[in-house]
Amino acid sequence: MNAMTRRIVIGTAAVSMAVSLAACGKAGDDKDSGSGGDSKTIGLLLPENKTTRYETFDRPMIEAKIKALCADCDVKYNNAGGDAETQKKQFDSLVTQGVKVIILDTVDYKAVKSWVQQADKKGVKVVAYDRLAEGPISAYISYDNEKIGRLQGEALVKALGPKAKSSNVVMINGSPLDPNAPFFKKGAHSVLDTQVKKVVYEQDIPDWSPDEANKKMGAALDSLGKNGFQGVYSANDGMAGGIITALKKQGVKVPVGGQDSELAGLQRILAGEQSFSIYKQIKPQADTTAGIAVKLLKGEKFDDLVNTKVDSLSGEFKATPSRLYDATVVTKENIGSTIVADKVYKASEICTPEYKKACEAAGIK
């Protein structure tokens, strides 16, 4: 893909981060040895642990790739648990320890601006991972998030079938502090606003909380009635789980979509409870991020690892070198050829006894 300046408005940052050593041990495990001022140390800060991908895939993949590229490099890791103040302490701690490169997946993308600016003055390079942070970041690696929203909208319309045009839809969106969430929403609306009857209920969910999604789905049922909607857009799989629980409690079965291809989401798809998810290949994203971080640590250029340029949502920070990846809709029909084939999960992990027959019906063995 040729480099092109793509204005990806993404705003409300979480680089307000830093961890006193006490907070480090609390919010995430700093398992690395090595002095804080070691020029071979890379900081890795992830935002939350309610979404299973971060601890299951992102962290181990990034750490493994950094070690493969730089055997004597250390990684200082922490997870903010969805708390921006915790992430601020974690971020500050890394800067205080002398870490020169920080991979940052923000909790609150606006809040991080001043912290990234202060780090920049001290020569610390910040790589925005998955979520674009405000501030003078060195690189941004993520997905075309508006396109993902369109894919979600299109998949829900397909799941609704011939009745889509006469169908009402409930939308349960992601966290308002996540800069990606507005793009998922925008992309989904670009499809749903023209291809279904109406979005009759819509809520943003703080922290992507499945419990809160469950409550909002319950409120939608109370407000609209069991027959007041024919489909539900859920911005991710975790919330889809909470939504489906609320629907089942009321005996309602309608198409529900998600994102992230979490194990539980895939099993719900096979069981016919969830219509689809979105598969984002995490390894290429993690590998590229690790590669850029190591090159920054060594003072090397990384032009070969990016494919576009992105502006911050505020428009204040221009043309950040970026790499944006595409995604794929996952349904019962292609779990085997995508998730299993790419070794995200083994068939044995998906096809537990409860889902064995569903797996056989889908050709997954």
Per-residue pLDDT of the chain (365 residues; tens, 9 = 90+): 444 433 333 333 333 333 333 333 334 444 333 334 457 999 999 999 989 999 999 999 999 999 999 999 999 999 999 999 999 999 999 999 999 999 999 999 999 999 999 999 999 999 999 999 999 999 999 999 999 999 999 999 999 999 999 999 999 999 999 999 999 999 999 999 999 999 999 999 999 999 999 999 999 999 999 999 999 999 999 999 999 999 999 999 999 999 999 999 999 999 999 999 999 999 999 999 999 999 999 999 999 999 999 999 999 999 999 999 999 999 999 999 999 999 999 999 999 999 999 999 999 98
**Which tokens sit at 66?**
């950094």
Alpha helices by DSSP H, 56-175: 59-69, 84-97, 113-121, 145-160
Cα–Cα distance for residue pair 150/188, rounded to 1 Å: 5
> Would you state the torsion angle of the CA atoms of residues 285, 47, 243, 261, taken in this order, to the nearest 10 degrees?
20
Kindly list the distances between the CA atom of residue 233 and the CA atoms of 70, 189, 262, in Å, as whole numbers in the listed order.
42, 10, 16
Within a 10 A sphere around the Cβ of 231, how many other Cβ atoms? 22
Query: Which of 231, 197, 201, 229 lies closest to 215 in space, CA to CA?
Result: 201
Residue written as tokens 């991080």?
Answer: 112
Cα–Cα distance for residue pair 216/243, rounded to 1 Å: 8
**Which tokens sit at 254?**
């309608």
Please, what are the domains in the chain? Answer: 5-143+281-325 (3.40.50.2300), 145-279+329-361 (3.40.50.2300)
Beta pairing partners, 198:
168
